[in-house]
Amino acid sequence: MTHARVGIYTLTGDVSAVTQQATDGMLPIFKGQPGFVDYNIVAADGKLISISTWESMEQANAGTRQAATFVEEQLGEQVSLDTNYVGDVVLSSR
């Protein structure tokens, strides 16, 4: 079973700039961590939904801490965290 971290953010900056920073900064951090599986960002209605998938719950929780640090240091003026979830992936098309 895999586990996912879902963060829902309010976007106050430019979506292209934020996703580029996530691609250049957050994705390499995640890729360097044990248990990393996948990372996606969905933009909808002024929100960004960040979804990272991990092999274990502990790794997903570590990803949550990494994301929080990255957002605070790199994206704090462009996004703000509304909600954060970590849970079991109960259905996947992979």
| pLDDT, mean over the chain | 94
Closest-CA residue to 94 (of 60, 53, 57): 53
Please enumerate in sequence order all residues whose Cβ is within 8 A of that of 52, keeping only pairs 6 or more positions apart, or say none: 4, 5, 30, 36, 37, 38, 39, 40, 60, 63, 67
Q: pLDDT of 23-42, one tens digit each?
A: 999 999 999 999 999 999 99
Give the Cα separation of 94 and 73 in Å (integer).
33
pLDDT level of residue 94 (50, 70, 90 thresholds): confident
Q: What is the mean pLDDT of residues 59-76?
A: 92
The pLDDT value given to residue 28:
94
Q: Tell me what pLDDT residue 10 has.
A: 96
Domains of the chain: 3-86 (3.30.70.100)
